Chains A and B, each alone.
Chain A
Amino acid sequence: MSWTLVVVPIIAVILLNLPFGEGYRKLAFPAGIFLAVLQSALVLLPIENMFPYGACPLSPFVFLSPDALGLLMILSVGIVVFSALLVGWRMTDKTSRKSDFANLIILAMAGMNGVILSGDLFSLYVFLEIVAVSSFILIAMDKNREALEGSFKYIMLSAVATILILSSISVFLMLTGSTSFSAAAAALKQGNHAAVLASGLFIIGLLIKGGIAPFHGWLPDAYTSAPAGVSIFLAGIVTKTTGIYTIIKLVSYVTGYTGPVKEILLFFGAVSALLGAFAALDQKNFKRMLAYSSISQMGYVIMGLGAGNPLGVMGAAFHLFNHAIFKTQLFVNSAAVEQETGTLNMDRLGGLSDKMPVTGATSVVALLSTAGVPPLSGFWSKLLVIVALWVAGYKIYALIAVFAGVVTLAYLLSMQRRVFFGNISASFSNIKEAGVSFTLPAVLLSTITIAAGVFFPYVFEKLIIPVQALLGLL
């Protein structure tokens, strides 16, 4: 009954928008929170085969039962949506916009679940578009100059990606007469040149959506100019699901971990890791630095995938999950800072850790996890990726990953120093810690980071080891 994960949120959105008045529409918030928490809880319950495959009524879509990585992603979606809703609801002003925000998030959640669960190429495309359209509107919601610009740039790049993906689907259709994963995989196995072209186009489209360099142009602008709750949502899960996770799915189910594919992943992953890290060094805007950091971390995930061995896939999957947690954490903190001080310019901030202790402390936890310091979860996933690269024989890429890690530490420490340590400027002498809507997700996310790190053996056995299966699907 995996289709319920998609259908229920959609029905919820429909029900929540019935014309019963403003107050009724506000129910979108508790509904969203409920759905997100439900989703996470269902994944964590120790029931075998929680979401079995079942034909979805009234729809031609094929919904698979989620594999190990899919479960991890569903869990991440739930957690990030929870955080984004809490922060976004608090930070949006007009009530009508608040409900719009919540509704769009729920819709996007449905779309992402669809991406995770889809069983053939075209339904994948449909759900990618659902998420994309919701994101376009969400970014531009406040209708200020920068947000519109960021949204428009995202629309343009996303449209190009869509075109490429659709071309790919039509070529596969031409070759095999069907859009299922297995038919495409079979066509590729035969070495058909057109099939190779099609898979290449699909990968390019997904790289654009995932924000991998050099296709990343839209990402810093979209993340920075979006309203706070939307930034959290985008950075935490949207780009990761629609871009990176879909690449993993494509490579596992359709193309296989062949030489050219691994080369592409390794090369562009390394470029992203380095470019993102270096570009983040010289930033003034808090969110922009975090956006480039996302590019860099996704470079790591793609490199881990490109290593092509079990360790690499597991490291990539775990890093994807960890990133959802610690990047969301950092964006929540930036939202708290923005809410209290009204600025994100790191040159003007400083010394906030006295007035905002929870934000400062959780930011340190997220920082250490991103930089890969034990015993936090980021250490393990980074270690897995680096070791996987080394063991697979890609020693240069392993060294690049380590080097990018050093640069990561540099810009993160610089961020922490400029925002939370140092001297506080006079205009900020009256700020307080941000409210529960900010501190609750922050503490929750930090706890998850610490727990996933400290209890790593348990997490590893239960959630990560099954991901290896992705390698042997073809």
Chain B
Amino acid sequence: MTQETAQLLRLYIVFLPLIFVAGFYCVITTRNLIRTLLGLEILTKAVTLMLALAGYLTGRTAMSQALIITLIVIEVVVIAVAAGVVLNIFRHNNSLDARNIRSLKG
């Protein structure tokens, strides 16, 4: 393993978990629905980084790129749908507070 790779890996090992934690923290603790979606986006980026790293480590950068692009497309669709749901929730409750969508219990 060359020095570059080692340095890169060190950076990754420090920052990737940070991004993951940040993403999960954002999703779990925020009360604003839009921020939840942003948290999902952060997590998606973290995974994208992992895929890029994988491509670099094994030398198969082309495959990695293809996977990342597919991933981005799929996540766009998911976020679009999620945003649509959030928009409709807003229309019902006139607020983006996540505490309003706790009514289904038991």
Interface residues of A, Cβ cutoff 8 Å to B: 60, 122, 126, 129, 132-133, 136-137, 140, 143, 145-146, 148-153, 155-156, 159-160, 162-163, 166-167, 169-171, 173-174, 176-179, 220-221, 224-225, 283, 288
Collect the chain B residues with CB atoms within 8 Å of residue A126's CB: 70, 74
Asked if A122 and B74 make an inter-chain contact with CB atoms under 8 angstroms apart, the answer reads no
Collect the chain A residues with CB atoms within 8 Å of residue B46's CB: 163
Interchain CA distance A160-B43 in the complex, whole Å: 9
Asked if B81 and A170 make an inter-chain contact with CB atoms under 8 angstroms apart, the answer reads no
A123 closest partner in B (C-beta): B70
Collect the chain A residues with CB atoms within 8 Å of residue B51's CB: 166, 169-170, 173
Asked if B89 and A152 make an inter-chain contact with CB atoms under 8 angstroms apart, the answer reads yes
Asked if B57 and A221 make an inter-chain contact with CB atoms under 8 angstroms apart, the answer reads no
Interchain CA distance A162-B82 in the complex, whole Å: 14
Interface residues of B, Cβ cutoff 8 Å to A: 23, 27, 33, 36, 40, 43-44, 46-47, 50-51, 53-55, 57-60, 64, 66-67, 70-71, 74, 77-78, 81-82, 84-86, 88-89, 92, 101, 103-104, 106
Collect the chain A residues with CB atoms within 8 Å of residue B64's CB: 173
**A184 smallest CB distance to B (angstroms):** 13
Of B54, B74, B92, the contact of A170 (CB 8 Å cutoff): B54
Interchain residue pairs A-B with the least CB separation, the first 5: A177-B58, A173-B54, A170-B50, A174-B54, A221-B104
Interchain CA distance A384-B12 in the complex, whole Å: 48
Asked if B86 and A145 make an inter-chain contact with CB atoms under 8 angstroms apart, the answer reads no
| Contact of A148 with B88 at beta-carbon distance under 8 Å, contacts A122-B67, A129-B74, A166-B51 already known | yes
Asked if B58 and A145 make an inter-chain contact with CB atoms under 8 angstroms apart, the answer reads no
Of A159, A171, A178, the contact of B40 (CB 8 Å cutoff): A159
Of B36, B50, B67, B78, the contact of A133 (CB 8 Å cutoff): B78
| Contact of A174 with B103 at beta-carbon distance under 8 Å, contacts A132-B78, A140-B85, A166-B51 already known | no
Collect the chain A residues with CB atoms within 8 Å of residue B50's CB: 166-167, 170-171, 174
Collect the chain B residues with CB atoms within 8 Å of residue A221's CB: 104
**A283 smallest CB distance to B (angstroms):** 7
Asked if A177 and B59 make an inter-chain contact with CB atoms under 8 angstroms apart, the answer reads yes
30 A–B contacts from the bound complex (CB under 8 Å) = A129-B74, A129-B77, A129-B78, A133-B81, A137-B81, A140-B85, A143-B88, A145-B92, A146-B103, A146-B104, A148-B89, A148-B92, A149-B104, A150-B104, A151-B85, A153-B104, A155-B81, A155-B82, A156-B27, A159-B40, A159-B43, A160-B43, A163-B44, A163-B46, A166-B47, A166-B51, A170-B47, A174-B54, A174-B57, A224-B104
Of A133, A163, A179, A220, the contact of B43 (CB 8 Å cutoff): A163
Interchain CA distance A171-B74 in the complex, whole Å: 20
Interchain CA distance A235-B47 in the complex, whole Å: 30
**B84 smallest CB distance to A (angstroms):** 8
Collect the chain A residues with CB atoms within 8 Å of residue B59's CB: 177
B78 closest partner in A (C-beta): A133
**B103 smallest CB distance to A (angstroms):** 6
A149 closest partner in B (C-beta): B101
Collect the chain B residues with CB atoms within 8 Å of residue A167's CB: 47, 50
Interchain CA distance A171-B55 in the complex, whole Å: 10
**B24 smallest CB distance to A (angstroms):** 8
**A204 smallest CB distance to B (angstroms):** 13
Collect the chain B residues with CB atoms within 8 Å of residue A174's CB: 50, 53-54, 57-58
**A37 smallest CB distance to B (angstroms):** 29
Interchain CA distance A159-B81 in the complex, whole Å: 12
Interchain CA distance A365-B14 in the complex, whole Å: 58
